[in-house]
Amino acid sequence: MKYIWEMKKVAHTNSRSFAGEKTPTKARLLEELKEAVEEMKLIKAGKKKARPVEDLLNEL
């Protein structure tokens, strides 16, 4: 029982500390999401042309 309580405590501490940290991976993800949102706004406003889905899938 003590082992389970300790594991919960460690998991809670790790998740809480990760939420506030900006690791390089997390920072990169956030930056890419911001760029994607900006691009979608430009497409909706008609200031940028959207690419065909086939092009996007071919990149993957």
Q: Which domain holds residue 34?
A: 2-59
Q: What is the pLDDT of residue 59?
A: 83
- Categorize the per-residue pLDDT at 52 as very low, low, confident or very high, splitting at 50, 70 and 90: confident
Q: Residue 59 is which amino acid?
A: E
How many distinct structural domains can be found in the chain?
Answer: 1
DSSP-assigned states of every residue in 8-54: HHHHHHHHHHHHH---HHHHHHHHHHHHHHHHHHHHHTTSSPPPPHH
The pTM for the full model equals: 0.52
| Sign of CA pseudo-dihedral 41, 45, 47, 53 | positive
Q: What is the pLDDT of residue 5?
A: 45
Q: How confident is the model over 23-38, as pLDDT tens digits?
A: 888 889 999 999 999 9
Q: What is the mean pLDDT of residues 27-52?
A: 92
